[in-house]
Structure formats: structure tokens, C-alpha cells
Amino acid sequence: MRSGEAAARDQLIDTVYAALHRIACEHLRRERAGHTLQPTALVHEAYLKVFGNSEVEFADRSHFFALVSRAMRRILVDHARGRAAVRRGSDGQRVPLDQAIDLESDSGPSPVDLLELDLLLDGLARESPSLAELIEMRYFGGMTAEESAEVLGRSVHVVRHDLRLAHAWLRRELTR
């Protein structure tokens, strides 16, 4: 693609779009029933957020997926903020988290406010940007530990360790 082959560019676009659509589907499947944002709209909004009116150069696959995961997070958080603002005075949107942020008890996944999670991720990013990036890739980007390891150029063992560390940090902060 970088050498100017149109066929390679088209194939890359098809592959990346399919991957982003799959990620959006998986994430929105975990959202509340009747969510008004559709996977295709989430992918398109993320694309517009990342690319806007300019061409963006990515250092590598890791850089691309990190930016797209962050864009999806922003879109979903903005959507939740808008919904909470409409409801005036509500306590925000509660969404059950799956194993991406494993906060399970005997009764199943604990519901966590999406806006609270956003604030916690900002705090985690101040302490450890790499851990926050992993959580964004896993929860908002829908990537597995294996996919994250490949994108970041780390071993799966290190990524799983870092995910456990990030989950523990989030659990500790949520219980405060």
C-alpha cells in the first residue's frame, strides 16, 4: 500500500473495516438493550474522529488501533453523557462489564457506570499510560490479549499480566 498499489489499499481498507465493525458489534452487544448507536455508526464516527478532514500517518498497527480504540471510547462516553444529560439528575448509564474488566462476583458481572469508568481510565492513564491503553484496546476496542500482544509487539504473557494489573487497579478504585 505504501508503495502506491491501489489493490493493496483496497484490500487493507476492507480488512480494517471488517475488523473495526466486528469490534463495534462486540462492544455494543454488551451495552444496554435498545442502545441507539449501531455498530456501523460507531465505526463511521470513530473514522471521522481519527481522520477528520486530514490524512493521519500511523507509525504502525499499534498506533492505529490505539487511536481507534480511544476514539470509540470517546464516542461511547459522549453518548452516555448525552443520555445522562437528557435524563437530568440521573445517576448515569449503568452497563454490565464482561470479562474485559473482570469484576465478577457470585451473582455475575457488576454494573459499572460508563462515565465513572471513563474517569477511572483517565486516572489510570496518569499513573500508567500503557495499562490504560491496554484497557482501551480490550474493553473499548474489543481486542483479545493475543491481538493486543501482536499489535503492541509484546508477549501474550506480558499483556495478560498487565491486564490483570490494570483490572486490579480498576477494582481497587471502584470499591473506594
* pLDDT tens digits for range 43-65: 888 888 888 877 777 777 777 87
User: Among 18-22, 28-32, 125-129, which stretch is predicted with the lowest mean pLDDT?
Assistant: 28-32
Mean pLDDT of the chain: 77
pLDDT above 80 (res 15): yes
Tens of pLDDT along 91-136? 555 554 443 444 444 444 455 667 788 888 899 999 999 999 888 8
The predicted pLDDT at position 104 comes to 42
Report residue 57: phi and psi, to 5°.
Answer: -95, 135
Q: Which of 168, 68, 92 is nearest to 124 (CA)?
A: 168
pLDDT above 60 (res 8): yes
How many angstroms from the chain centroid is the CA of residue 7?
29
In which band, very low, low, confident or very high, does the pLDDT at 165 lie, cut at 50, 70 and 90? Answer: very high
**DSSP code, position 99:** G
The predicted pLDDT at position 5 comes to 79
Q: By three-state DSSP, how is residue 94 classified?
A: strand
pLDDT above 50 (res 30): yes
